[in-house]
Amino acid sequence: MRKYIALIGHGPRWLEGKTVYEQGQPVEDHLEAMRRHYDTGVLQLGGPFDHGGGIAVLNVADEPAARAVMDADPAVQAGVMVYEIRALRPVFDAAAQVRTGGTVATISGDAARHTAGA
């Protein structure tokens, strides 16, 4: 499993001038979907930013799996939210007890091997 970050933004059907809490049923349904993903271990961290947009940290096998989670999201399907996916190479992760002790060269080498599929 690998961590992917979904950076969530306002979609074309976002109600301008309204907060995330005022977007109606699509956001209610989004919240319920995120609860299910949290309960199954897929969603590691999620929530809105103070000034628009939000984040979902997903623990899935690969990028297509991360996209499948977000493509199925009710708020994305309704056009209220859009997202971008970014793969994360944790260097520090308190929840997973990851603390890199190596040098930048060590981290860079690990990254090169990871992206090459090693």
- What is the three-class DSSP state of 3? strand
Same structural domain, 47 and 75: yes
Token pair, residue 65, equals: 């799996």
Taking all residues of the chain, what is their mean pLDDT, rounded to a whole number?
A: 91
Which has more pLDDT, 116 or 60?
60
Same structural domain, 97 and 83: no
* Residues ≥6 apart with Cβ < 8 Å to 6: 55, 56, 57, 58, 66, 69, 70, 83, 84, 85
Same structural domain, 22 and 44: yes
**pLDDT mean over 75-99:** 92
Same structural domain, 80 and 95: no
Write the CATH number for 15. 3.30.70.1060
**pLDDT mean over 38-64:** 97
Kindly report, residue by residue over 32-42, the tens digit of the pLDDT. Answer: 999 999 999 99
Same structural domain, 69 and 55: yes
β-strand pairing of 98-99 with 2-10: unpaired
Range of the domain at 111: 91-118
Same structural domain, 45 and 95: no
Overall number of domains in the chain? 2
Q: What is the pTM of this model?
A: 0.85
The answer to whether 107 and 100 are in contact (CB under 8 A) is: yes
